[in-house]
Chains A and B, each alone.
Chain A
Amino acid sequence: MKTFYQGLLLALQIALLFLVNLIGVYIEQKTHIPVPGNVIGMMLLFLLLEKGILPVAFVKKGADFLLKHLTFLFIPVVVGFMPWGKLFLNQGIPIMTAILVSVFVALAVTGMIVEHFAKTNRKKENDAYN
């Protein structure tokens, strides 16, 4: 009975996250702002939690579950790459060169800027390490 209750609670919380996502998608379609619905949903949920309208306990279990298994959700995305195999076989080297260089640039620029500036605060605060 206890596991059944836990499962139901998890399903309800995930359903609530689905609902917030739907509202985000609806806002995106109505306003035509260049922000995808799921990111609008993320900002909306943050606001609801921040303003104390929605207690974090109402979504915590569902959110933890989805994020714990986020890599599972990306497996079909990788599989969706299959139909493009030919293009990548023919032009794979130039395409991958462009992608790899730019991935490296983003990691280096963002990572090293944050590392540098956050380290100057190191003596005063330890939050960034925890």
Chain B
Amino acid sequence: MLIISILITLGAYYIGRLVFNYVRHPAANPVIVGGTLVILFLVYSGQGYTSYEDAKNVITGFLGPATVALAVPLYQNKKLLVRYFRIIMLSVFLGTLTTTVAVVWVAQLVGLEHFIVVSLAPKSVTAPIAIEVARMVGGDPALAAAFVVGTGTSGAVLGPMILTWLGVKLPLARGLALGTAAHGQGTAMALEEGELQGAMGGLAMGLAGIMTALILPWLLPLLL
């Protein structure tokens, strides 16, 4: 089943790429199209989710080295990193702060239960950090991981369109915004736009994760 699951995922990815290259629209990104195809296969073949878990662990095992790999485009764009250092730190910090305040306030406004609100708080950052932070502030780690995926998916699909609508055109700005708002999935989408966008997405993702881990434990009690 492991080999079949991996082959199914590769096939779904291939189709997702073909669709993306054909329509060239972020809403048809390979993650959504590919993921939907795999879910449809698991549901209609009667395999269910549990049979897919081994393949998931093997494939996501490459996310660690892929994150490390972001150091290469970052190194190649070092001049930009040095020149815009203060703007980068300030913009990612304010983006992280406001997105956290927004999610906690809106979640309470629409009447979600306390444990859901707390698990939503770290949802903008990469899963390994979000899970740890959720545990620290009394949320549910598995639920937090699901919210991370929900955030990443909506950010990857809508992010490029929203940025264009807001008039954000610079590759530097688009990469940083996508990495801050939608962590790895946003970074993957930024990489589709270009190498510089991807490098900045990876940088923002790392910074936003570190900042969230440092500020959320004292920020959250002020918002509840």
Contacts and interface: CB of A to CB of B under 8 A. Distances in A.
Given A66-B66, A83-B49, A103 B151 contact: yes
Contacts of B84: 114, 117-118, 128
Contacts of B3: none
Interface string B68-110: 1111111110111001100110111011101110110011001
B111 A94 contact: yes
A4 B62 CA distance: 22
**A interface, over-half SS:** helix
A74 B173 contact: no
Interface of A: 14, 17-18, 20-21, 24-25, 34-39, 41-46, 49-50, 56, 59-60, 62-64, 66-84, 87-88, 91, 93-115, 117-119, 125, 127-130
B210 A111 contact: no
B172 interface: yes
Contact of A34 (B16, B159, B213): B213
Interface residues of B, number: 115
B49 to A, nearest CB: 5
Given A36-B129, A75-B13, A113-B91, A106 B98 contact: yes
B168 A115 contact: yes
A105 B103 CA distance: 9
For the complex of A and B, the 6 pairs showing the least CB-CB separation, nearest first, are A78-B35, A110-B95, A111-B177, A106-B181, A34-B213, A63-B69
Contacts of B94: 109-110, 113
A41 B69 CA distance: 9
A91 B116 contact: yes
Given A64-B72, A77-B60, 13 more contacts: A38-B65, A63-B71, A66-B66, A70-B187, A74-B31, A75-B30, A78-B36, A107-B155, A109-B98, A110-B181, A111-B168, A113-B90, A114-B91
